[in-house]
Amino acid sequence: MTLIDHPENPIPDGAVAGMISTPDGTELRYAHWGSVGGRRRGTVTLLQGRAEFIEKYFETIQDLRKRGFAVITFDWRGQGGSQRLLGNRAKGYISGFRQYRQDLETVLKKVSLTEYPGPHFALAHSTGASILLSDSARLRTMLDRAVLISPLMGLADFNLKKTRPGLYRLIKLLTFGRYPKPDVTKYTPGARNFLERVAFPLAAVFSWIGLARAFVPGGNRNFLIPFSENRQTSDKGRFDRFNAVLAAAPQLGVGSPTVGWLHSAARCMLSFRRRDAGQKIMLPCLIIAAGKDRIVSTRATEEFASRCRAAGFIEIAGAEHELLTEANVYRDQFWAAFDAFVPGSDYE
């Protein structure tokens, strides 16, 4: 599938796009661009979040190129223009994050490290950030530094007592006061909040009984939602732009995650909660969290970062989950942090 050109979201000049095969035969759509303005500061491989697509990052790609970076990006298997894994294209499915790790390694080896000179960096958002972190020991030999935005470390904190007081009291009554337990704010190897304590075990059970390919309860194939219902960004202009691309090219869209996707994601999230997980991260990272994130848990991210020797942590107060598509007041803070960390003093 070629890149989609839209009047409100034009393809940056100089794009080279194509398909590439992973070792297990999955076709991935990728694209890359050289830097502009005569500056060469290295190469950035841009990793998307769940249900995203290359076209959503055209503005970010231009921002990186103007800074002197070549940029490579791609669609994860099962989304965007890459090969879908189920007959129902709207279902976001994966059997395990090891498949995502294979996607990333394939693009790094066959495109990033082959087509462009170093130093090599990664800019990863949400699910993409967690995929990178889960394989950081191997990626340390391929990348120099990484900036991770709103990584998927835990599901968003869900205060049932405030949002659904009637349901909260009913559950407390039926369980004789044992549940819901208070959200955990310190280190724990297991689920941290009520949503995780319910969703993670259910996803495991449903997967074991053969329902891995079903939408999560309450999920559906809809990927076009009104701005008033979105939890990604407070910037209506950018939100409407990406919706316009999806409306013109619905083949790029993905609906709700499946039970199997959630089960795979839960296993990845829980792996970061082992006490020694942070110490194993040797790739220098800057983790940037959104203070108003309603999709992933900023508290879980901060707790993980506190156990990492090679990672710094910044929280941008008031920002929603997708910092790269947020309002400029938040985006500018992100780019200031990025510019201070990449490429780093060793390359200045």
Mean pLDDT, the chain, integer? 91
pLDDT at residue 344 greater than cutoff 70: no
Mean pLDDT of the 152-160 span: 79
137 compared with 285, residue with greater pLDDT: 285
More confident residue, 6 or 158: 6
Domains of the chain, earliest start first = 16-347 (3.40.50.1820)
Rounded to the nearest 5 degrees, what angle is found at the Cα of 315, between the Cα atoms of 131 and 243? Answer: 65
Instruction: Name which of 192, 32, 59 is nearest 114 in CA terms.
Output: 32
Q: Which tens digit of pLDDT belongs to each residue from 48-98?
A: 999 999 999 999 999 999 999 999 999 999 999 999 999 999 998 999 999
The predicted model scores a pTM of 0.92
pLDDT at 175 over 90: no
Report the candidate in 88, 115, 105, 98 with the shortest Cα–Cα distance to residue 18: 115
Instruction: Give me the helices (H) in the chain, please.
Output: 58-66, 97-107, 113-115, 127-134, 136-139, 160-163, 165-174, 194-208, 236-248, 259-271, 298-306, 328-341
Q: How confident is the model at residue 161 (pLDDT cuts 50, 70, 90)?
A: low
**Biggest distance spanned by C-alpha atoms of the chain:** 68
Assess whether pLDDT exceeds 90 at residue 166. Answer: no
